């Protein structure tokens, strides 16, 4: 069985998607349609911008979504997954690629999500940190012991968690993690505390847009971030997507569940090869490939 997986924020690079634009007429059409929907030429930033321009949340999220989804659509008949999943933002790419949401509606939601998250970050100065070398429970217990907002936000692979919260709480947690034997507890260059209670204002803002968007049943089960389980029911998919902004990304559990459900090959579609590395750390035997182009 085949799984297609889609990366989240952090995988972007200048030049992403340009070969698709140049070589696939349908891809060029979709990129140009995206420029119209967004109201600015995101392709200029993706293909020839600076790292700084590409790093803005309102640019990064639509850029990664576009690269992933247009690549999936360019595969045509070769895109025949038995299951799909995406890491954080990548869940939107997975839903559009699997036909649960149209390209236009998916892009509009991703753009709204990025802007709402940017706003929430500005309201609450906050950050995230990667913790390496501790088990999940130790990380969770240390987060609970801190006076302030800090939670486990991304379960990326065994021994690699990302925590998310207010600046002071993250600083305190990092010290405690190192004292507990973490190999590293390192602040990340992100705009705010994604997948934590500090994203509540963004969740409220996005909820209306998700509820109003027309979802249909995907062509295959979508394993969703909030509980790592497979879904095909549009109403359940919507509810999980709304919960996703303040809930942790359970990527380790998604990979374990897909393997338990019979997947024998993973293909990562989009920029970078982050998920390929994480999947290999969950299961060294897993067959994984990354595609950033045709």
Catalytic residues: 88, 195
Give φ, ψ of 86 to 5 degrees.
Answer: -140, 150
Q: How many CB atoms lie within 10 A of CB 195?
A: 23
CA distance 96 to 132: 33
Note whether 5 and 75 are within 8 A (CB).
no
CA distance 267 to 4: 5
Residue 24 makes CB contacts below 8 A (sequence gap 6+) with: 74, 294
What radius of gyration do the chain's Cα atoms show? 18
Chain center to CA of 172: 26
> Phi-psi category of 170—alpha, beta or left, where left has phi over 0 and alpha has psi -120 to 50?
alpha
Q: In the block, which residue shows the tokens 């897909």?
A: 258
């Amino acid at each position: 069985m085949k799984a297609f997986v889609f990366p989240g924020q952090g995988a972007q690079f200048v030049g992403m998607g340009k070969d698709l634009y140049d070589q696939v007429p349908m891809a060029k059409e979709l990129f140009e349609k995206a420029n119209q929907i967004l109201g600015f030429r995101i392709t200029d930033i993706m293909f020839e911008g600076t790292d700084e321009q590409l790093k803005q949340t309102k640019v990064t999220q639509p850029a990664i979504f576009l690269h992933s989804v247009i690549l999936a659509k360019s595969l045509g008949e070769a895109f025949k997954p038995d299951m799909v999943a995406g890491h954080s933002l990548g869940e939107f790419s997975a839903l559009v690629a699997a036909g649960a949401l149209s390209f236009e509606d998916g892009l509009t939601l991703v753009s709204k999500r990025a802007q709402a998250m940017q706003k929430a970050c500005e309201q609450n100065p906050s950050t995230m940190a990667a913790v390496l070398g501790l088990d999940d429970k130790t990380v969770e217990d240390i987060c609970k012991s801190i006076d302030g907002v800090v939670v486990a936000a991304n379960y990326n692979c065994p021994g690699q968690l990302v925590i998310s919260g207010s600046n002071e709480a993250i600083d305190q947690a990092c010290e405690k993690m190192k004292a507990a034997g973490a190999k590293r507890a390192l602040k990340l260059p992100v705009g705010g505390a994604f997948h934590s209670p500090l994203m509540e204002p963004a969740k409220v803002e996005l909820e209306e847009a998700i509820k109003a968007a027309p979802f249909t049943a995907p062509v295959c089960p979508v394993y969703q971030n909030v509980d790592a389980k497979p879904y095909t029911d549009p109403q359940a998919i919507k509810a999980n997507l709304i919960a996703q902004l303040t809930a942790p990304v359970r990527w380790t559990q998604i990979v374990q569940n897909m393997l338990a459900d019979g997947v024998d090959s993973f293909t990562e579609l989009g920029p970078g090869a982050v998920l390929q590395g994480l999947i290999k750390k969950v299961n060294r035997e897993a067959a994984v490939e990354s595609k950033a182009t045709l």
